[in-house]
Amino acid sequence: MLDDTLQHGGIMSLTPDWAPNIHPIVVHFPIALLSTAFIVDLIGLFMRRRVAVQHTVTWLYCAGAALAILAYLTGRSGADELLLPAQVAPLVDEHADWAFRMTWFFALFASVRVAISYIFPPKPIVLSAAFVLAIAGMTMLFETAEHGALLVFKHGLGVQKITTDEPVPAHIDSVSNLSSVDPGIIELDNNSWAWRPVEGSNLVLSEQFTWLESNDASVVSEMVEDANYGTVLGLSLNEIPVLFIAGEAIDATQADVNVNLDGFDGIFRMIFHVQDASTYDFLAFNDTSATLGRIDNGTEIIFEEKLLDYSGWLDLRVFGGNGHFRGYLNGELLTHGHAMDLPAGPFGLKIDGVGTVLIESIRVQSVT
């Protein structure tokens, strides 16, 4: 029985089995405290001379704000631990944005209430103005809670394991396996697309991809045998960088690439929101690190960089939209950044180095 209750090196977990992290438990406390503070605040407007009531309101707001900060931090940490499906990722970001606004509003508002209770005389006009501000804060709290409830009750986030996207839709496997010639890019809904290369992929690269840097003649493309996936696409380069894109312009983008870089020495970039060869967002891998960032008119802006050691086949995922950017490796979050969005643009790859890159599949999803 002891083994059932001990986790993580013998330390008892505070998180029950039904919750992937502590956020679903913590989040109810600031909602309850801030709602109680608001109700008592309303009652206190008619009991302005009762100093104890005003002090109670102040400390309820302070406690609620402190727990709101804890809930925000646990929520952000919990979201970073999940590999989110494309349809859920933007909803999580909206919830996080409202939580950020609400949390720091009440942190500041609690300071105002302390000043009202202990520094400035609690005049009726001051208390009334503070209550109007509290209404604005409660509106933010309602929006935060509503977005959180949508994630819980519609998508099961926080109370069960979220089903993640398949790297490539199942029907694409059958189309690719039954065809002796590469069927090329499979168009999906809402400008999404996927490609699983088979024999004839060199024609797909030439005819269905747009080359913004060098051209398909700069790469030796051939199908090679792999112990894990059978026949996969091999792209061999010799110090001539290439950049190629496909599909329509997409705003919020999630892309998955199953790739092997063991035989390659250089930089492999998944690029999205591509405006031209000198402006795009990217998730890049070299021998020692992963970098999430942006090339803006030729200038590199790094959102986050992480040192790592990897080998074998890699399930790479990048997400970017609504000011949020994330990079994943084999289902684990690597990098997370924030920036103003570039205009919508297509997805592609930029490869710069020497050796052979193996690609098993590419899937690009529009998540707007």
Condensed to tens digits (0 to 9), the pLDDT of residues 146-195 reads: 878 877 766 666 555 554 554 445 445 544 454 556 689 999 988 999 99
Q: How far is CA 177 from the centre of its chain?
A: 32
pLDDT tier, 9 (very low <50, low <70, confident <90, very high otherwise): very low
- Between 3 and 241, the more confident residue is 241
Please give the Cα distance from 127 to 177 (Å, whole number).
Answer: 71
- Taking residues 126-151, what's their average pLDDT? 89
pLDDT, position 92: 80
pLDDT, position 62: 96
Which of 279, 254, 251 has the alpha carbon at shortest distance from 341?
251
User: What percent of the chain stands above pLDDT 90?
Assistant: 61
pLDDT, position 157: 64
pLDDT, position 141: 94
pLDDT, position 236: 96
- The whole-chain average pLDDT of the chain stands at 85
For 155-167, how does the pLDDT look when each residue is reduced to its tens digit (9 = 90+)? 666 555 554 554 4
pLDDT, position 289: 95
What SS3 class is residue 94? Answer: helix
pLDDT, position 86: 67
Strand segments (E) across 218-263: 220-226, 230-238, 242-250, 253-260
Please classify residue 359 by burial: count the beta carbons closer than 10 Å to its beta carbon, then call 0-12 exposed, 13-18 middle and 19+ buried. buried
Model pTM score: 0.71
Task: Count, in order, helices (H) and strands (E) of the chain.
Answer: 8, 17
Helical segments of 23-123, H only: 23-26, 28-44, 51-80, 89-118
pLDDT, position 166: 46
Judged against a pLDDT cut of 90, whether residue 95 lies above it is answered with no
Residues in Cβ contact with 200 at an 8 Å cutoff, skipping those fewer than 6 apart: 180, 181, 182
Ranges 80-84, 138-142, 307-311: which has the least confidence: 80-84
- Taking residues 255-277, what's their average pLDDT? 97
Which pairing describes strands 313-321 and 324-329: parallel, antiparallel, or unpaired? antiparallel
Token representation of residue 322: 């609504």
Cβ–Cβ under 8 Å, residues 164 and 85: yes
pLDDT, position 313: 97
- Taking residues 71-91, what's their average pLDDT? 75
- Taking residues 126-138, what's their average pLDDT? 92
Ranges 77-86, 115-124, 197-206, 234-243: which has the least confidence: 77-86
Cβ–Cβ under 8 Å, residues 42 and 5: no
Token representation of residue 326: 């994330």
